[in-house]
Amino acid sequence: MPGDSARMVDTARGPVHFQRLASENGTGAPPLVILHGGGPGCHASADFGEAIPLLRSRELILLDLPGYGRSPLHRPPGPRFTGYAHVLESLLETLSIDTCDILAQSLGGIAALTLSALHPNRVRRIVAIGSQPVPAPPGIRVDPALGARAREQYYGGPTSAETLRSEVMALEWHDTNAIPVDLVQARYAASVSPAGLAAAADPRVLGTPEDLSWMPGRVAAPTLLLSGIHDPFGEPAYGRWLARQLPHGIHAVLDRTAHHPQSENPSETVRLMHKHFDSEHKPEHHAKG
């Protein structure tokens, strides 16, 4: 079993930074890959910092996707989400990992679903939090442009840790008074990295838009979709609907949380994750909440 390490690695799709944490008790489960969201300064160790201590029964691989955290931008970027899926598949190949579970936030969840659709044998199970890979049907409230507006507002003037907290992270947390100071500082430092500032100047460097309407019906991995009940990016009904589009999708709602329930309520998020990953049977088409 590998020990704890953090490093840059060259894959067939370009260099990426990741952190590998050994299991503390050797459960024998496949590695758990953790993928972050897409907001300014998001990276795996920040987005899941509150949950990671509860996950140490698993071998963890915390990946920063290109342009986030310590991973450099890849040029040319190509289609965004299939590009991220290919990067993840290439990292698994580089690390000689045949299959994995994935726990992912928002943007990272879209990458995980896309990987399962493209390389079904690579992903055993997925937990995706607040992910919106395809447009909502009529009658379901979502705000797909909210993230772009928040990014533009944050980078439109002098950046600071306080403006990141008040203009971006306040959308991710229901109880904004509970946002940890150290998390704000970690996100701020990543938001003003060379890659972060390049993406602020031209978001196209993160990848070109693509139509993923082909993807949900091809997701092979049993998938738990989690929604924060107060998520301003989209109401829980979107997650419930998306679960029905997946071959093996289920849905659950977390109370008193917004877009980052793994930070606001890590114990319940991890409990639901373990229940899903430890299940011996493929989930049926149903949704909770």
Domains parsed from the chain with CATH numbers: 5-287 (3.40.50.1820)
Q: What does the alpha-carbon distance between residue 89 and residue 152 come to, in Å, rounded to a whole number?
A: 31
Which residues share a beta bridge with 256?
A: none
- pLDDT grade for 281, boundaries at 50, 70 and 90: very low
Contacts of 272 (CB under 8 A, 6+ apart): 127, 224, 226, 252, 254
The pLDDT value given to residue 25:
80
Bridge partner residues of 35 (DSSP): 63, 104
Give 128's strand partners: 104, 225
**Scanning the structure block, which residue is given the tokens 């079904």?**
120
Mean pLDDT, to the nearest integer, of 10-28?
88
Token pair 């060259």 is found at 10
pLDDT digits (tens, 9 = 90+) for 131-172: 999 999 999 999 999 999 999 999 999 999 999 999 999 999
pLDDT over 50 at 284, yes or no: no
Q: Vertex 144, ends 129 and 161: CA angle to 5°?
A: 70
Work out the pLDDT band at 3, boundaries 50, 70, 90: low
Six-digit token string for 105: 């936030």
pLDDT per residue as tens digits for the range 37-86:
999 999 999 999 999 999 999 999 999 999 999 999 998 878 999 999 99
Closest CA to 273 of 64, 92, 48: 48
- Residue 12 sits at the vertex; the CA angle it makes with 17 and 97, to the nearest 5 degrees, is 70
Q: How confident is the model at residue 109 (pLDDT cuts 50, 70, 90)?
A: very high
233 within 8 A of 259, measured Cβ to Cβ: yes
Does position 262 have pLDDT exceeding 60, yes or no? yes
User: CB under 8 Å to 141, separation ≥6 — which residues?
Assistant: 234, 235, 237, 238
pLDDT of residue 52: 97
Residue 91's pLDDT band (cuts 50, 70, 90): very high
Contacts of residue 58, defined as CB under 8 A and 6 or more positions apart, other chains included, come to 23, 27, 29, 31, 32, 101
Average pLDDT estimate for 14-26: 91
Mean pLDDT across the stretch 206-222?
97
List the beta bridge partners of residue 249.
223
- Is the pLDDT confidence value at 100 over 50? yes
CA 286 to chain centre: 22
Phi, psi of 186 (to 5 degrees): -65, -45
Q: Is the predicted pLDDT of residue 288 greater than 50, yes or no?
A: no
Q: Is the dihedral of CA 201, 205, 210, 212 positive or negative?
A: negative
pLDDT at 68: 97
Q: Tokens standing for 73?
A: 């931008």
The least confident of 18-32, 88-102, 182-196, 231-245 is 18-32
Q: What pLDDT was estimated at residue 47? A: 98
Measured between alpha carbons, how far is 160 from 187 in angstroms, rounded to an integer?
Answer: 11
